Amino acid sequence: MSEAGSPYSIGLDPGLSPPPVLPGLVWAEGVRVLPSASPPPFLADILARVREAGEGFVPQAVRDEVRAMLRFGRYKPSGRGKPASEFLLRAALGGEFPLVNGPVDVNNAVSLESGLPGSIFDADLSGRDLQLRRGEPGESYVFNPSGQAIDLEDLLVVCRRVGDVWQPCGNPVKDSMATKIHAGTTNVVAVLYAPASESASALGRWCERYAELLSSHCGAKRAGFRVPDGA
């Protein structure tokens, strides 16, 4: 498992200058997607450590930097718009941590442990090439089965290529239903959103843990990761 020769990529739109984010890309192929009835051991361990440490498990400085990464124009990372990593920390402390399926549980575990929001997609729906940009006025997508939508204007978004257009499919708050993991998913690609102040080597360690869990917990036949140069 390594960064070299990755068949997946993520680019930054020229409008993200200077870029507020250091994106880590993780991928896995041949995964099993099984529903979760109880926390797997690696997640149970993280939850126990979070509950012992309390809110300080994720340093306030990390939470502030992640919010600063998202704060732009009209977008304010608070209330329902706060980063997914903060929702997960609150859920862990409240005893109602979401259990979904193997790949999503891996994403949530790494996000909780690192304090960095993450997105995970069915790679056959998202494609292998992704792009990060800001959401444009009027853009939105549905993020849950009941049809609720999130306004994407000025929010940092991950896009998939649809024809000649980069179409949003994820962000550090909520991901689109269009590319979510489902029972028939076999290939996944994920993004960890680190603030630009994060070191590439530290991000690389989190991405490596993510890829290792997709192998050990989800049975991936191949897995790897990419981080920006300098890791």
- Distance CA(145)–CA(176), nearest Å, equals 10
- Distance CA(96)–CA(47), nearest Å, equals 11
Q: Could you report the average pLDDT of every consecutive run of 10 residues in the chain (231 residues)? A: 69 95 98 96 98 97 98 95 97 95 98 98 98 98 97 98 97 98 98 97 98 98 89 43
Beta bridge partners of 122: 188
The residue type at 9: S
Q: pTM of the entire structure?
A: 0.95
Q: What is the CATH number of domain 9-226?
A: 3.50.40.10
Both tokens of 138, joined, read: 């009027």
Model pLDDT, residue 231: 43
DSSP helix/strand/coil, 136: coil
Q: What are phi and psi of 201, to 5 degrees?
A: -65, -40
Model pLDDT, residue 5: 59
Residue-range domain boundaries for the chain: 9-226
Beta bridge partners of 156: 134
Both tokens of 227, joined, read: 């981080």
The residue type at 36: S
DSSP helix/strand/coil, 93: helix
Contacts of 3 (CB under 8 A, 6+ apart): 204, 224, 225, 226, 227, 231
| Sign of the alpha-carbon torsion through 62, 158, 174, 49 | negative
Model pLDDT, residue 6: 75
